[in-house]
Amino acid sequence: MERTERDLLEKAQGGNLFAFEEVVRRYQRRVYGVAMRIVRRHDVADDVTQEAFLRAHQKLDSFDTTRPFGPWICRIAANLAISHVRSPRAREEELGEGADEAPAPGSSPLDAVLEGEARERLAAALDSLPPEQRAVFVLRSVEEMSYREIAGTLEIPVGSVMSRLSRARNKLRAALAGYLGPGASGAERAEGMET
């Protein structure tokens, strides 16, 4: 019988480390994904993920178990990731180039080159976004959160989510215009109208 999230969190609040370990297991990939898409480096995303769960564990007594855990832990991770990107240390570090990502199996050498080029251009465009815009874009486009969920996760008004997302999309569209061609902007505008 699988335990509900609320049961696990209540047990973890009571000091049961195995229950918290199960919560970590359930959310680890999601939290890592949020961190990775903001910091753009595997080693830093690992550190952010660990720190997010450590902070969540330290503050677990104050967490309301009637609320979902996912947005809370993602907010912690996103805020830690944004803080890292803003830090002087991050500016000194070289960003990874995604070289460790393998092409899709069965793809031709030309497909692999084109896929690698597309990934590099997208990574560079994402890296050019301010951390706040990158976080909103990642939570909306990758994590598929609603505007309200993003607002709750980052503790900002829905209007700020919408304006940051709009600015991020415009900057990405401009950065990728030469690569995607003129037809892409219309499709992105249509997608941007969804809430």
CATH assignment of the domain containing 54: 1.10.1740.10
Looking at the structure, tell me whether residues 170 and 90 fall in a common domain.
no
Could you give the dihedral angle defined by the CA atoms of residues 107, 177, 123 and 105, in that order, rounded to the nearest 10 degrees?
Answer: -10
Residues 71 and 148 placed together within one structural domain of the fold: no
75, burial (CB in 10 Å: exposed 0-12, middle 13-18, buried 19+): buried
> Can you give the CATH number for the domain in which 167 is found?
1.10.10.10
In a domain, 109, yes or no: no
CB neighbours of 48 closer than 8 A, spacing ≥ 6? 35, 39, 77, 80, 81, 84
Domain annotation covers residue 150: yes
Indicate if 135 and 64 belong to the same structural domain: no
Calculate the average pLDDT of the chain: 79
**Residue 103, CA distances (Å) to 25, 106, 143 in order:** 28, 9, 23
Residue 166 belongs to some domain of the structure: yes
Q: Is the pLDDT score of 105 beyond 60?
A: no
Q: Is residue 193 part of a domain?
A: yes
Q: Which of 87-91, 101-105, 147-151, 180-184 has the lowest mean pLDDT?
A: 101-105
Q: Is 103 left (phi over 0), alpha (psi -120 to 50) or beta?
A: beta
Distance (Å) of CA 105 to CA 48, 99, 108, 109, 112: 30, 16, 9, 11, 9
Confidence of residue 116 (pLDDT cuts 50, 70, 90): low
Confirm whether pTM is higher than 0.75.
Answer: no
Q: Kindly state whether residues 135 and 195 are assigned to the same domain.
A: yes
Query: How high is the pLDDT of residue 135?
Result: 87
121: in domain:
no
Amino acid at 98: G
Clarify whether residues 57 and 16 are in a common domain.
yes
User: Domain for residue 124, yes or no?
Assistant: no
pLDDT at position 97 is 42
Has residue 107 been placed in a domain?
no
Quick one: pLDDT band at residue 101, thresholds 50, 70, 90? Answer: very low
Mean pLDDT value of segment 148-158: 86
* Residues 91 and 134 both lie in one domain: no
Residue 149 and residue 84 share a domain: no
Of 61 and 110, which is predicted with more confidence? 61
pLDDT at residue 73 tops 70: yes
| Same domain membership, residue 88 and residue 14 | yes
133 and 73 part of one domain = no
Counting the structural domains of the chain, the total is: 2
Residues 174, 92 within the same domain: no
Domain region containing 13: 1-96
| Any domain includes 66 | yes
CB-CB contact of 119 with 37 (8 Å)? no
* Residues 49/77, Cβ–Cβ less than 8 Å: yes
